[in-house]
Amino acid sequence: MFTQDQPHIRNWINGQFTDPVSALATQYLAVTSPYNAKVIGHVPLSTAADVDQAVAAAKEAFPAWSNRTIKDRAGILIRFHSLMTKHAEQLADMVVLEHGKNKAEALASVLKGQETVEYALSLPQVVQGKMLEVSRGITCHDTRVPLGVVASVVPFNFPVMVPMWTLPIAIAMGNTMVLKPSEKVPFTMTKIVELLKEAGVPDGVVNLVHGTAEPVNALIDHPDVKAVTFVGTSHIAEMVSQRCHKLNKRVLALGGAKNHMISAPDCNIEMTSTDVVNSYSGCSGQRCMAATVLLTIGHQQELIDKIVAKSEALHAGSQAGQVGPVIDQASVDKITRYINEAEAEGARILVDGRPWTKEHQEGFWVGPTVILHTNKQDAALHDEIFGPVLSILAVESAEEALAIENANPYGNAACIYTSSGATADHFIKRFGAGMCGVNIGVAVPREPFSFGGWNKSRFGNHCDITGDGGVEFFSMRRKVTTKWVPQESASWMS
């Protein structure tokens, strides 16, 4: 069944690659490259027994790992960061192969993951705690304590970057981890765990278990897993959150998005059009920060013409500036269904990406698509499509634009394009989103500012997933009050 060109992916448990516990009975799922739909490997559908094995390894490794100083743990991550830099091209090539990003996007995603590693390297200085003499002869101080074994469930769309949202901070804080990669992109993390071991991360500190729903449920339900992070659709994120809460388990589950861009009449047309196109078509639209609805205040024909021209100039491929495929046939079907429905409801298709599906006989392709709407109820204006599709709707006023954006059940990101500081301030204070941009369509914050949306884009404990939010999530505060010298006058604290 497995050949050299179609490797047999294995779990990584206690510092070595391991076959599933029920190796003979385990089923395998084909992994395909989106560029040509060819099978490039097979991933095991692990069971609860495999989760038990991984959690046991992580639990055994926790006492020694957590007893190291944070400076010691960060020193190991310095070596890991160096190895990630050394192997960045190889990791990017793996992302291109298994996910379909173009090479520049893939390399950028590796480097973006490195930013969180770099933040983790600063934690010895960041999490020193506080100390204060609160009364005569009495001091209070706090320290951060790791949780124990934590689980991280990550999606397909960023095989390196999203795992790096959680892994470096979690283990730097002294936790051990079981990570469940997406079954659609298992190769990249398989390489990264080897780099972690080469850097000096002890066996059992980081473990991988592959599969679909069963290992996720097993991780949530496992009594030795103290916290769970999840990134995926809002529907599943809410289910994960509810399941964890029933177990009184710490959880942070990030969901989907429908991000809005608003163009004021005074926007810089050249800059805005370039940024809008990059936002909706970059990474083939498969990112929760893609802004896919443009609300123009008034009819802005010159801006629309520029967006159309720049969208039509995009070509399919794996090189910088080209648009790669989407992840699988189910995604193609979903994206084209929304385009078809919008057209049937009377929307104008200004740029049509559907012909790419026929022009590229192999792989999973949908080209950049621009839809001009007149009906505010069109599904493409409201649902997360997760593809390179931009919906444009003209509105009469800033108040109408904000009303539409605020009515969005998600709350991940929003952007205002304007040349006016007053206009920018007006919108930023009124957006219903956790990450906002001024003339930046993909307003991803950089550490120490943390990543996280609002509303149905985030469920669970009210922390963000990176930066200081990650530190808060992956640790507990211990508060210590100390008295050594008897006080001359008594008080309630004596």
Axis crossing angle, helix 421-428 with helix 398-407, rounded to the nearest 10: 30
Contacts made by residues 81-84, CB under 8 angstroms, sequence distance 24+? 81/114, 81/117, 81/118, 81/121, 82/199, 83/195, 83/198, 83/199, 84/110, 84/113, 84/114, 84/117, 84/192, 84/195
How sure is the predictor about 485, in pLDDT bands with cuts at 50, 70 and 90? confident
> Does the active-site annotation cover 288?
yes
How sure is the predictor about 270, in pLDDT bands with cuts at 50, 70 and 90? very high
> Which one has a higher pLDDT value, 375 or 3?
375
Q: Is 100 left (phi over 0), alpha (psi -120 to 50) or beta?
A: left
Sheet holding 131-135, edge to edge: 131-135, 138-146, 475-483
Distance from chain centroid for Cα 92: 17
Q: How many CB atoms lie within 10 A of CB 299?
A: 12
Q: Is the pLDDT of residue 489 over 90?
A: no
Structure tokens at 318: 């794996």
For strand 250-254 and strand 458-460, is the pairing parallel, antiparallel, or unpaired?
A: antiparallel
Across the range 289-306, mean pLDDT stands at 97
Q: Is the pLDDT of residue 199 over 70?
A: yes
pLDDT tens digits for range 137-182: 899 999 999 999 999 999 999 999 999 999 999 999 999 999 999 9
Q: How far is CA 335 from CA 85, 96, 284, 376, in A?
A: 35, 21, 11, 19
How sure is the predictor about 259, in pLDDT bands with cuts at 50, 70 and 90? very high
User: What's the pLDDT at 2?
Assistant: 34
Contact criterion met (CB below 8 Å) for 62 and 177: no
* Dist. CA 254–CA 229, nearest whole Å: 8
User: What's the pLDDT at 491?
Assistant: 62
Across the range 454-465, mean pLDDT stands at 91
Q: How far is CA 328 from CA 134, 331, 356, 365, in A?
A: 60, 5, 14, 9
Backbone phi, psi, residue 129, to 5° = 85, 175
User: What's the pLDDT at 4?
Assistant: 40
CA atoms within 13 A on the CB side of 38: 6
User: What's the pLDDT at 1?
Assistant: 29
Q: Is the pLDDT of residue 487 over 70?
A: no
Q: Choose, from 244, 267, 283, 288, the residue flagged as catalytic.
A: 288
The b/e string for 370-384 (b: 16+ C-beta within 10 A; e otherwise) is bbbbeeeebebbbeb
User: What's the pLDDT at 493?
Assistant: 54
How sure is the predictor about 129, in pLDDT bands with cuts at 50, 70 and 90? confident
The b/e string for 61-91 (b: 16+ C-beta within 10 A; e otherwise) is bbeebbeeebeebbbbbeebbebbeebbeeb
How sure is the predictor about 486, in pLDDT bands with cuts at 50, 70 and 90? confident
pLDDT tens digits for range 320-340: 999 999 999 999 999 999 999
Least confidently predicted of 256-260, 293-297, 447-451: 447-451
User: What's the pLDDT at 490?
Assistant: 61
Least confidently predicted of 27-36, 125-134, 208-217, 283-292: 125-134
Distance from chain centroid for Cα 481: 39
pLDDT tens digits for range 388-397: 999 999 999 9
* Dist. CA 339–CA 381, nearest whole Å: 11
Q: What is the 3-class SS of the chain, one letter each residue?
A: CCECCECECCEEECCEEECCCCCCCCCEEEEECCCCCCEEEEEECCCHHHHHHHHHHHHHHHHHHHHCCHHHHHHHHHHHHHHHHHCHHHHHHHHHHHHCCCHHHHHHHHHHHHHHHHHHHCHHHHCCCCEEEEECCEEEEEEEEECCEEEEECCCCCCCHHHHHHHHHHHHCCCEEEEECCCCCCHHHHHHHHHHHHHCCCCCCEEECCCCHHHHHHHHHCCCEEEEEEECCHHHHHHHHHHHHHCCCEEEEECCCCEEEEECCCCCHHHHHHHHHHHHHHHHHCCCCCEEEEEEECCCHHHHHHHHHHHHCCCECCCCCCECCCCCHHHHHHHHHHHHHHHHCCCEEEECCCHHHHHCCCCCCCCCEEEEECCCCCHHHCCCCCCCEEEEEEECCHHHHHHHHHHCCCCCEEEEECCCHHHHHHHHCCCCCCEEEECCCCCCCCCCCCCCCCHHHEEECCCCCCHHHHHHHCEEEEEEEEECCCCCCCCCCC
The rounded mean pLDDT for the chain is: 95
The residue assigned the tokens 């930046």 is 440
User: What's the pLDDT at 132?
Assistant: 94
* Global pTM exceeds 0.85: yes
User: What's the pLDDT at 24?
Assistant: 66
